Copies of this chain bind each other. A is one copy, B any other.
Amino acid sequence: MNFIHKNENEKFSDTKTQVSELNNEANFENEKILEAIIFASSEPLSINDLKKSCPFIEDIDVSINNLMAFYSNRAVNLVKIKNTYAFRTSPYYSIHINQKVEKKVKLSKAAKETLAVIAYHQPVTRTEIEDIRGVSLHKGLIDTLLESNWVSIGKRRNTPGMPVTYITTNYFLDYFGLTTVKDLPNFKEMIEAGFSADVKVEEIES
């Protein structure tokens, strides 16, 4: 009796281990499929993109999170840019990479400030930008920011005249290594001081 019982127990625990091992293996496999897909893509991919490529993976978020954790202590990290994912080298190792820096953009002080105003106050109208900076916008400045692909056009403001608004792009987040605009330096402080409205952020994030 005792013997049989023991044996059954063993059997049971064996099956259990096998099932969980199988699960683990399947999960690991999913993780690797995502790894290959994201690695091979030249653009950051959204969860939707990934779902299209792998309809068979049920909880993509879990696999993605595992993958992010796996790469977190490496020199190549899996980063989240708004709702998209991409591999980027860790800034910590930048000194060793002597890439030709082609993309280094020389922006005027006014352009940098205007970009920051758009980032912190988005969606923001031209008039609001001028009000915040206390100076009228130089011709061609918004043009430059649109061209650099950091800035795009948002919804029209529902006020008289329905003015055009400006917002930052995913590329802006990617460029500065941010996951969301909430990661901007001093973002919380700026909102708490009433310098930009919290409601707007939810609008952007949605």
CB distance from A178 to the nearest CB of B (A): 6
For A94, the chain B residues whose CB sits under 8 A away are 36
For A201, the chain B residues whose CB sits under 8 A away are none
Given A164-B183, A185-B164, A189-B164, is A143 in contact with B194 using a C-beta cutoff of 8 Å?
A: yes
Chain A interface extent, by class = 35 or more
Pairwise interchain contact A194-B139, C-beta atoms closer than 8 A:
yes
A155 to B140, CA, bound (A): 33
Over the window 129-154 of chain A, the binary record of Cβ atoms lying under 8 Å from chain B Cβ atoms (1 yes, 0 no) is 00000000111111100000000111
Pairwise interchain contact A143-B183, C-beta atoms closer than 8 A:
no
A163 to B184, CA, bound (A): 10
For A37, the chain B residues whose CB sits under 8 A away are 93, 96-98
Whether, in the assembled complex, A169 has its beta carbon less than 8 Å from a beta carbon of chain B, the answer is yes
Q: Which residue of B lies closest to A184 (CB)?
A: B153
Q: Give A contacts to B, CB under 8 Å.
A: 32-33, 35-37, 39-42, 53-54, 74-76, 87, 89-90, 93-94, 96-99, 126, 137-143, 152-156, 163-165, 169, 176-180, 182-185, 189, 192-195, 197-198
Besides A33-B93, A41-B99, A140-B197, 7 more A-B contacts (Cβ < 8 Å) are A36-B75, A37-B98, A54-B96, A138-B194, A139-B194, A143-B197, A152-B178
24 A-B residue contacts at CB 8 Å? A32-B74, A35-B93, A36-B75, A36-B93, A36-B96, A36-B97, A37-B96, A39-B76, A41-B99, A137-B194, A138-B194, A139-B197, A142-B193, A142-B194, A143-B193, A143-B194, A152-B176, A152-B177, A153-B178, A154-B183, A156-B182, A164-B193, A165-B183, A169-B177
